[in-house]
Structure 1
Amino acid sequence: MRILYVEDNPELRETIGMLMEGEGRMVTSCACAEEALVLDAGHPFDVLVTDVSLPGMSGTDLARRLLADDPLRWVVLCSGYELGSQPGSWGPNVRTLLKPFELEELEQLLGGIHTALASVST
C-alpha cells in the first residue's frame, strides 16, 4: 500500500512517516499540498494522509482535488479541531483523525484501509 503523507511540521512528518512504514506500507512524505499534487501526478497513491492546516493550499483543498479525480480514493484528514460530518460527504473512503491521536488509532485505521484495498484487488 502506497501512502502519501503531507505534514508541514518536520518533526511530526519524520516521526509519523517512519511509524507508518512496514506492514506492506511504503510512505512518501512531503511538507505541502502543492508538492503532494506533483508527487501524486501520473501514479496516484493508494492513500492520502494529510494535515488539514498546511501553508498555501490546505489539506482539505488537496483532498477535494484528489477526490475529484478519484472519488473512491482513501483519504485520512488529520486535524487539531473537530471537522464535523462534512468530510464524510466527500466520498465513501474519507476518514478523519483528531490530533493529538494515539498511534494505535492510526495503525487501526491504516490496517482497515489495507484490508479494504486488498479485498478490492483480489
Structure 2
Amino acid sequence: MSSPPLPLTTPALRVLFVDDNALVRESMRECIEVLGHQVVDVASAEEALVRLSQQGFDVLLSDLNLPGLSGIELARKVAEQHPTVHTLLSSGVGGSLDLARYGIRAGWLPKPLSMDTLEQALRDIARHGGPSAAA
C-alpha cells in the first residue's frame, strides 16, 4: 500500500472486513487500524451475518468472491437486515462492477487496494455517509 495515511480527522468507524484469504484479512486489518478505525475480520459471509447481528458496525467491507454466499448476496442481506451499515465491495476481477444492476447500493473498491483509496472511501463514509467510489 502506498503513502502514509493522513491523520484521521473524522470519527473512527467500526468496520467488518470479510475475505476468505487469511493473509489478506491480516493485512487489511492492519491497514484499517492504522487509519484509526476499529475492525473485526471474518472469513465468510455467513460469519459476517452472525457478527452483524451481535455487534454494531458502520461499514461492511467485503471481497466479492467468497465461498458460500457471494459478496453480492451478502450486500443484499445486509441492506435488508442492517440498512444503516454502509457496504463496500472489493475484487480483483478488474474494472468496476455495476452494482445497481444487482439491486444493491454499495461502493466499489478495485484490488489491489491502495491505502489512499481505502482511506478516502472510509473518510467519505465517516463524513458524508457514503463512499465516493459508489458504483
TM-score normalised according to structure 2 size: 0.76
Match of 2:64 among 52, 76, 83: 52
CA distance in 1 between partners of 2:43 and 2:97 (Å): 25
Residue aligning to 1:68:
80
Residue aligning to 2:23:
11
Question: C-alpha displacement at 1:83, in angstroms?
Answer: 4.7
Q: Alpha carbons of 1:15 and 1:7: their partners in 2 closer, same or farther (altered >3 Å)?
A: same
Q: Alpha carbons of 1:9 and 1:87: their partners in 2 closer, same or farther (altered >3 Å)?
A: farther
CA distance in 2 between partners of 1:44 and 1:21 (Å): 17
Write the deviation string for residues 71-97 of structure 1: whole angstroms up to 9, x where unpaired.
443110001124522348523xx1001
Structure 1 stretches of 5 or more lacking a match? 118-122
Would the aligned equivalents of 1:87 and 1:95 in 2 still touch at CA under 8 Å? no
The yes-or-no answer on 1:85 pairing with 2:134 is no
Which amino acid is the alignment partner of residue 84 of structure 1?
L
CA distance in 1 between partners of 2:67 and 2:26 (Å): 18
Instruction: Indicate the structure whose relative CO is greater, using CA pairs within 8 Å and at least 6 residues apart.
Output: 2
Percent of matched pairs sharing the same residue: 37
CA distance in 2 between partners of 1:8 and 1:73 (Å): 21
Structure 2 stretches of 5 or more lacking a match? 1-12, 130-135
CA distance in 1 between partners of 2:20 and 2:77 (Å): 19
Pairing 1:11-50 to 2, within 5 Å after superposition: 11-50=23-62
TM-score normalised according to structure 1 size: 0.83
CA distance in 2 between partners of 1:51 and 1:87 (Å): 17
Q: Alpha carbons of 1:36 and 1:67: their partners in 2 closer, same or farther (altered >3 Å)?
A: same
Write the deviation string for residues 83-112 of structure 1: whole angstroms up to 9, x where unpaired.
522348523xx1001111212111111111
